[in-house]
Amino acid sequence: MKTAIVTARPGHKARLSKIDPNDAGGLKKEEALEQFAELREEIAALQEVLYAEHGRSLLLIFQAMDTGGKDGAIKNLCNGLNPAGLRVTSFKVPSPDELDHDFLWRAHKATPGKGMIGIWNRSYYEDVLVVRVHKLVTKKIWKARYDQINEFEKILTDNGITLVKFMLHITKDEQKKRLQARLDDPEKWWKFNLNDLKERALWSKYQQAYEDAINCCATDYAPWYVVPANHKWARNLAVADRVLRILKKMDPRYPKLRFDPKTVKID
């Protein structure tokens, strides 16, 4: 299946300005929706096996600019999955307790247990994005965090967590449309935050921060995937396709039984 997703790995740096957020991989919406439904069924089947195996876990991290589609991508991916084997965590502004610890403390507590699929809406990458753009710490501090993140992700992957990071890539014009859509629909007013406009004014700085974070923290064990996300249906398909590929590569297996089912009699 062809999707427009771009993989950032060591030696193959991503340039956001060179990646077209409108790229749908040559597919039409109807085709993408049909393929997405099929992929989601396959993902659900493999999730059941991963949960039963209870030996490893999968962690999906979603990052994006405001209105980039994190909620929508997560919602569409999760629909049909077994909630018993799923844990979704949304990282908001750090609480006072979290600020009293290192920036990775709250993330480590949220990592998925064996057999689980963990999905994060934002993550510790905010500490090299928002923190950098707003100059909440010095350059020396946020720059050192790239290596700290890589080391942390190596610990996770060495301990049975398959880690996948998605950056949902939209244009500034698309963000404007989505913000305006919230203003035009009374039922979406609750989603609109005046602070989003202040963040929007920092667009170019965020783009540079994202690009540096992706390229500094793209490793063989924890790759970054840049997903063209102006078209929501293309975004959903690209994410589902990548998740399915990764689950197939993980190749989970049902555990061996410790008894012979043929010898069991239920009265």
Q: What is the pLDDT of residues 112-128, one digit of tens each?
A: 999 999 999 999 999 99
The stretches in the chain having pLDDT less than 50 are: none
**The pLDDT value given to residue 14:** 85
Residue 181 lies in a domain: yes
Domain presence at residue 261: no
Classify residue 255: in a domain, yes or no: no
DSSP output for 121-165: ES-GGGGGTHHHHTTSS-HHHHHHHHHHHHHHHHHHHHTTEEEEE
Q: Tell me, what CATH number does 27's domain have?
A: 3.40.50.300
1 assigned to some structural domain: no
The residue among 59, 52, 63 whose CA lies nearest residue 88 is 59
> What was the pLDDT predicted at 1?
63
265 falls within a domain: no
Asked if residue 263 is part of any domain, the answer here is: no
| pLDDT (0 to 100) of residue 139 | 98
Range of 95's domain?
A: 6-250
- pLDDT tens, 222-256? 999 999 999 999 999 999 999 999 999 999 999 99
**Tokens representing residue 200 in the block:** 């929007």
E-strand stretches of the chain: 6-8, 57-64, 86-90, 117-121, 161-169, 224-228
In a domain, residue 34? The reply is yes
Q: Within a domain: residue 78?
A: yes
Q: Give the distance from CA 58 to its chain's centroid.
A: 11
Q: What is the C-alpha to C-alpha distance for residues 145 and 143, in angstroms, rounded to an integer?
A: 5
Collapsed DSSP state (helix, strand, coil) of residue 264: coil
Please count the structural domains in the chain.
1
Residue 2: what pLDDT? 67
